[in-house]
Amino acid sequence: MQGQTSKLYAIVHCKCPHCRRGSIFTGTMYGWNIQHTKEICGHCAQRIEIEPGYFYAAMYVSYAMNVIEMLLASFITYLFFGPLTDATFWHYLIVIFAGCFILYPFNYRYSRIILLHILSPNIKYKPYYDK
């Protein structure tokens, strides 16, 4: 008998919100094999995309994540290069867009995870899958 899987573990490791055992994605976050969202969980057969167009809501989560990341990138640029002026404009622009580009796979994956685990009242954890 295995112990109960925590919600934090399931979120960090991108596991199914229903059983917290099956992986939600194929492929790696960064690498040559592109990540895709599975249609159903391989462990409990929970449908991942609950209804057609379900993951369109993940765009709003991704947008919020992107705004926070851009603000952090702007603040870090401010610490290194000073306030935004004509001389530092390109520094800000390059750092912000490079951050968006580098963090895109992270945002893709975790916006869907946040939507499934935190913002979806329809999917409940079933501890009997831990047995």
- With beta carbons less than 8 A apart as the criterion, state whether 29 and 106 touch: yes
Q: Which domain holds residue 74?
A: 7-129
- With beta carbons less than 8 A apart as the criterion, state whether 22 and 95 touch: no
Strand partners, 47: 40
- With beta carbons less than 8 A apart as the criterion, state whether 111 and 62 touch: yes
Q: Kindly report, residue by residue over 52-105, the tens digit of the pLDDT.
A: 888 999 999 999 999 999 999 999 999 999 999 999 999 999 999 999 999 999
Domain count of the fold of the chain: 1
With a cut of 50, say whether residue 1 has pLDDT above it.
no
Q: In whole numbers, what is the pLDDT of the chain averaged over residues?
A: 91
- 1 occurs within a structural domain: no
Q: Kindly report, residue by residue over 9-18, the tens digit of the pLDDT.
A: 999 999 999 9
Of 74-78, 107-111, 123-127, the poorest mean pLDDT is in 123-127
- 56 occurs within a structural domain: yes
Q: Terminal CA-to-CA distance of the chain, rounded, Å? A: 5
DSSP states of 27-58: S-SSSSS--EE-SB-TTT--BSS-STTGGGHH
- With beta carbons less than 8 A apart as the criterion, state whether 48 and 41 touch: yes
